[in-house]
Copies of this chain bind each other. A is one copy, B any other.
């Protein structure tokens, strides 16, 4: 065990991957000379050189598509899109090529690419730079969507993702990079198909992922003080969703709150709510509750942004409304 940051864990994961496999290379805007927009790839250029730590022009569609082509050509590209906001420019390549080539070709052309991007709000970057669209991507068959929320997952999910023969998207919440945690250096490649129970509890299942895991955990502590024993589930993967872990938790707690930084309408939390209701309707003591972002383009002003985002008091209120800890 060693203390490290989420940023360093992610960097170590990439370094490790490039050392382990000649076919792996990193490509994206300012991953090299600049040192990485969020300093995640800092130092990799010096170790692996400009061919394998490849700075790209501002051409999201072309370099993501080039990653897809390189994967078809036998490489194992890690393509970094600086932030999810810019991924909209590459969406055609992701949805119409990465996600469909295997199927359209009748199983001949799999696309072993890993696409990483920063997601989320909370840093006063305003409407165009604060999207949380991982839930959108989770709608698309053919894609695997990962949301590492701990230093262990930041360090070890990439290995498994690179072994996946199909496209994997990794969403890294910008607010997590500076987070410190205990890293299990011996862990090795981890399962990327299962959710994790981060805190055991009996009264209510608080289901979340990525940037709002700290919010859910803090809320659980607060609830404990109020005598409410909350279970915290970190989804880890949004596609496919790990129904088993979600449902077995709800079967015990009979109550669920989904915490999600996406806009409420059409969010991944809606899917989770619908699935729980479909599978566990008669076990539920209360309707599944959602704590999401307000439906507004993210405002710049700090107090407005804070008001728009799902925070601890919002989770507490949702639990109270279920008749717990009030």
Contacts and interface: CB of A to CB of B under 8 A. Distances in A.
B266 A268 contact: yes
Interface string A111-152: 000000000000000111001000110111110000000000
Interface residues of A, number: 50
Contacts of A96: 85, 88, 127-128
Interface in A286-314: 286-290, 295-297, 299
Interface of A: 61, 85-86, 88-89, 91-92, 95-96, 99-100, 103-104, 126-128, 131, 135-136, 138-142, 239, 241, 262-263, 265-271, 273-274, 277-278, 281, 284, 286-290, 295-297, 299
Given A85-B96, A89-B92, 10 more contacts: A61-B89, A96-B127, A100-B297, A136-B136, A136-B139, A241-B265, A266-B266, A266-B268, A270-B273, A274-B277
Given A104-B128, A270-B270, A265 B290 contact: no
A103 B127 contact: yes
Q: Which of A86, A92, A273 has the largest number of chain B CB atoms within 10 A?
A: A92
B287 A278 contact: yes
Nearest to A267: B139
A266 B135 contact: yes
Contacts of A100: 127-128, 297
User: Can you list the 9 inter-chain pairs with the closest CB atoms, starting with the nearest?
Assistant: A139-B266, A281-B287, A273-B274, A103-B297, A100-B127, A88-B92, A270-B274, A270-B271, A100-B297
A296 B141 contact: yes
A107 B37 CA distance: 32
Contact of A274 (B99, B128, B290): B290
B139 A126 contact: no
Contacts of A263: 139-141
Nearest to A104: B127
B277 A287 contact: yes
Most chain B beta carbons < 10 A, residue from A262, A270, A284: A270
Contacts of A281: 284, 286-287
